[in-house]
Amino acid sequence: METRKVQRLGPSTLAMTLPAEWVKAHGVEKGDEVTLRTGGKGPLTVLPESAKEEDTAATIWADHLNDEGLERAIVAQYVLGRRVITVGRKEGTLRSAQINAVYEAETQLMGLGVIEETPEQIAIRCSVDPEDFTLDNLLERLESTCSTMRTEAIEALAAGDADLAHRAINRERQANKIFVLLLRLIFTSVRNPSLAEEIGLESTFPLIGYRSVAKNLELTADNAEDIATIVLDDAEEPPAMDAETIGAIEEFSAAVDELTATAVRSVVERDYDLTIECRSLYQRIIDREDEILTDLPPMENRPLLQVREVLVSLAHTAQYAMRNVEIASNLALSVPSAYVTLD
């Protein structure tokens, strides 16, 4: 770290020189514009124009990658914020399986499309503009998608409807698209802090927490998929659950939905009162789970096991929501409020 002396230029202007090594490294010249970003507790960040443009393209050489590895490499470059991703071979032409892997990755990622294709290489471009989204909006969309998955899975269980179970499982692809887009915006903002404001944040401080919230929500999609899979595993002979048990599961699922939605609201709104509400909701959910298991009517082992599996999946979802509540508490208490005064 080095210090710089602030000088006065004229009656009301203060100035400071830029380090020569920094100027040379970033190619800054007289007349160029730089971006200034202020932090919440005093830091001032100076960004050269080149910071907005660097590392926007990447080439993946597929010669020594299997198909699965190639898909992972494309997803990684997408998450890192590349605008154009080219897949090619240093020797020979792309194999059919490699071409299929590129197109499969394209369907998994939001805003990605092929812009050029030759026998030797394929170029794909991401049309997503960070200004089109905010992290808060994407978190809410992800939570809503996962909630819809749970609803469809529970309805499929109640009706023994394999088609509805398939619909819930297929919706997981949309949830994953939103999750990976969240990762792209988070990683891009870490590398270029000037983008944080464009995606709805005043600073980069919350980004680590948002990464964890997004992952927790993505895991709840897996829980919903587990419930839908229970239905498909017994599609030939749906579980014989009585109406009262189904009603109790639906009520339990609705309580979990309320908790996950409120947890995300507490993150987005930085509302500590909502985190208190979530803790109360969670305790009622835990108590209700015990009551349902205690009050179950006599039934065969197979449906009994399925009821337990469904309740376990929903309880895991509630636990992931409480992880998000912890993050919300930290974010809410990091700023002045009725609970905290920063000296």
Q: How much of the chain exceeds pLDDT 70, in percent?
A: 93
Per the domain annotation, does 343 fall within a domain? Answer: no
Q: What are phi and psi of 126, to 5 degrees?
A: -95, 120
Per the domain annotation, does 151 fall within a domain? Answer: yes
Which tokens in the block code for residue 74?
């494309």
Q: Of 202, 218, 208, which Cα lies nearest the Cα of 186? A: 208
200 vs 146, more confident: 146
The amino acid at 109: L
pLDDT at residue 195 greater than cutoff 80: no
Indicate the average pLDDT of the chain.
90
Clarify whether residues 120 and 141 are in a common domain.
Answer: no
What share of residues in the chain are helix, strand, coil (percent, to 5)?
60, 10, 30
Clarify whether residues 144 and 108 are in a common domain.
Answer: no
Clarify whether residues 71 and 214 are in a common domain.
Answer: no
pLDDT value at position 343?
81
Clarify whether residues 158 and 253 are in a common domain.
Answer: yes
Longest dimension (CA), the chain: 88
121 strand-pairing partners: 88
Per the domain annotation, does 260 fall within a domain? Answer: yes
Distance CA 307, CA 26 (A): 61
The amino acid at 17: T
pLDDT value at position 238?
64
Distance CA 130, CA 114 (A): 20
Clarify whether residues 148 and 118 are in a common domain.
Answer: no
pLDDT value at position 103?
95
Which burial class, exposed, middle or buried, applies to 56 when counting CB atoms under 10 A from its CB (0-12, 13-18, 19+)? exposed
pLDDT tens-digit map of 2-57: 788 888 877 778 888 888 787 787 788 877 777 676 655 566 777 676 555 556 89
CATH number assigned to the domain comprising residue 69: 3.30.1370
CATH number assigned to the domain comprising residue 146: 1.20.58.220
pLDDT tens-digit map of 279-318: 999 999 999 999 999 999 988 888 899 999 999 999 999 9
Per the domain annotation, does 186 fall within a domain? Answer: yes
pLDDT at residue 144 greater than cutoff 60: yes
Clarify whether residues 110 and 154 are in a common domain.
Answer: no
Model pTM score = 0.85
Clarify whether residues 80 and 35 are in a common domain.
Answer: no
Clarify whether residues 209 and 107 are in a common domain.
Answer: no
Clarify whether residues 32 and 143 are in a common domain.
Answer: no
| DSSP structure string for 151-178 | HHHHHHHHHT-HHHHHHHHHTHHHHHHH
Distance CA 92, CA 119 (A): 9
> Are the CB atoms for 88 and 59 separated by under 8 Å?
yes
> What would the mean pLDDT of 211-230 be, rounded to a whole number?
97
Clarify whether residues 199 and 92 are in a common domain.
Answer: no
CATH number assigned to the domain comprising residue 30: 2.10.260
Distance CA 117, CA 87 (A): 10
What is the residue range of 19's domain? 7-49
pLDDT value at position 194?
72
- Quickly state the pLDDT bin for 326 (edges 50, 70, 90): very high
Q: Which residues contact 275 (CB under 8 A, 6 or more apart)?
A: 266, 325, 328, 329, 332
Q: Of 41, 40, 73, 46, which Cα lies nearest the Cα of 59? A: 73
Clarify whether residues 163 and 299 are in a common domain.
Answer: yes
pLDDT at residue 84 greater than cutoff 60: yes
Per the domain annotation, does 97 fall within a domain? Answer: yes
